A and B are shown apart, each in its own frame.
Chain A
Amino acid sequence: DSGVTQTPKHLITATGQRVTLRCSPRSGDLSVYWYQQSLDQGLQFLIQYYNGEERAKGNILERFSAQQFPDLHSELNLSSLELGDSALYFCASSVATVNQPQHFGDGTRLSIL
């Protein structure tokens, strides 16, 4: 058990819809990262938040947004969903230094029909 909790585990929705994925980081970790894993692109970094502030951005689409709340949980919002957004979305947390490991949740599997 990594200590990182992601909900829901599975999400099935239709094109054009909007969904929210939730992540609770490990106790004490201030940094939250979101990654997307698809069959053709592999694991890709989307965005990082540190103590409520956006810290780094990766290959995140404009239709996607994220935030980190005062209690440090984070949400990833995906809107105007397309078939290609079907993927596993992982959240990770760490104490936000390069030498410290990131701890991953078990992911949310998003299926767009």
Chain B
Amino acid sequence: DAKTTQPNSMESNEEEPVHLPCNHSTISGTDYIHWYRQLPSQGPEYVIHGLTSNVNNRMASLAIAEDRKSSTLILHRATLRDAAVYYCILRDQGGSEKLVFGKGTKLTVNP
């Protein structure tokens, strides 16, 4: 499984945008970039995924670098409820369906 690198922790203020980076320099052409988050005392929750183009949904935006070696999850206006551990995961289109979690980024949102 291709590896991702994320900062251990980040801090943000409520109602400000948050940019969570992920490096994946060994990404292959068939790897999709998925983001999950885990709120305290809950199971992981799907956030967004993409292949090459930037993606938007009701929760977040995903910006993918042109060379696909990095991506950024964007929360447009952080709320206290967004405090969680965010995981960036690569999933091979033709490979296993399992999720391989790293340590993720712990996001703290200050009121």
Contacts and interface: CB of A to CB of B under 8 A. Distances in A.
A97 B97 contact: yes
A94 B97 contact: yes
A4 B43 CA distance: 10
Contact of A103 (B41, B46, B87, B97): B46
A55 B97 contact: yes
B95 A98 contact: yes
B100 interface: yes
Contacts of B41: 106
A105 B38 CA distance: 11
B49 A101 contact: yes
Interface in A25-51: 31, 33, 35, 42-45, 48
B46 A101 contact: yes
A65 to B, nearest CB: 18
Given A98-B32, A101-B49, A43 B97 contact: no
Give the residue among A43, A55, A92, A96 with the most B Cβ atoms within 10 A.
Answer: A43
B31 to A, nearest CB: 9
Interface string A53-73: 001101000000000000000
Interface residues of A, number: 27
Interface string B73-100: 0000000000000010001111111111
Q: Which of B41, B43, B96 has the most CB of A within 10 A?
A: B43
B95 A102 contact: no
A2 B100 CA distance: 20
A86 B43 CA distance: 17
B93 A90 contact: no
B62 to A, nearest CB: 13
Interface of A: 2, 4, 31, 33, 35, 42-45, 48, 55-56, 58, 90, 92, 94, 96-99, 101-107
Interface of B: 32, 34, 38, 41-46, 49, 87, 91-103
Given A101-B46, A106-B43, 5 more contacts: A2-B43, A92-B99, A94-B97, A99-B49, A102-B46
